[in-house]
Structure 1
């Protein structure tokens, strides 16, 4: 089926506009149709560390690329600089795609960037993406909700702005829910210990998924008592997602994506 078979409900990318585009969790086939079209229409793509090479391969060769990636304590460009860059590029009359891993408004600092664009009087559009929790949970074989095991799902950052992990542990440690920690792998021992200290059984199933939805995906499952050691033994490093809850116990039976079989 050709692209022309899909209806276009938005205007093509416009000069002087910024498009905050969610790139999804890594698999380029999880890009939305709107996101894929904007990558083809952009003059410049401003992208971060969580946008993988497979997704960037969808950007045409003649499009300018500006890397502004962030890793722990290592920012290619501080957030204030990124905000200013977006305004600058738009005022030059460019069609600017700000490409973000996952969804721009779920732990993607999209809200901060939009605030700056509004203040500067720059026109913008936000294109949602499949957030990491949804995409990675699906590819890892972990349903985030299940009538028998989890009637709620919570997304939480495992790394606050000040570098701490001071969270509402009593709320996070309730039964019959799934908790997904973004950016928490370096705090994994603390996260597991606090959840147990606030009431979750040490036997609660938990998982860490690295580079989910891609050919580099790795899944480590254990329980809260043993997950930190299992992750250390497996050599797992960021970026990775932590999923805690009884739904993780379904993973061995429901896992369907096997990276070694991917094309």
Structure 2
């Protein structure tokens, strides 16, 4: 099995073989799973789950597989929530800070945050029906709320002006670069979950333009991006009224632009 997986280009063939053996219900299922993996089906789609931020996330065929680099969104979001819950004594912290996982896919970011901060009010949204099904399986048992729709149109109006942390892993691959991606992504994940437009920043523009009225005063917008695109993402957020900083993790190979609205007047747009 290891030889077949390695010959098919699986870099971590030994680890994958162990997982396939552990998850297979019998010889026939194992044989089918190995064949699918050799044919290029993502391991996570075969297993039905992906490892992310120390836990498992349910994923299914045709759903974007959460990447390890996206764990940086989780750690930055949790750090901001910790600050919000540790305000000075003369400022009452929010009892249940509102967090939104936008373009949530399987809901991996929201799930990881909710597992570590169960006191938050967590909402997630995605336009893809298969992703919404997975997100509900991951988030609803933890008390999260999952909505179907296009960006902010999916969110309930009751969240206007209340979102403390808005975490966004929107598509940011430039359209022409998708053909250079590994076949696992190109052939088995939705094109819409990858395509960020000509420069990869189309969704970042839409999010920046639409998010201000949803954020609480002093609220934060966190957007995953690439090192090459970080300056462009920052300029987009700054033009929308945010102060920004860029966070980079070499260990995770992740890049996140963090935008903060002024403490006053943020919800008035």
Q: Please give the TM-score of this superposition, normalised by the length of structure 1.
A: 0.29
Q: Which has the higher contact order (CA 8 A, sep 6+)?
A: 1
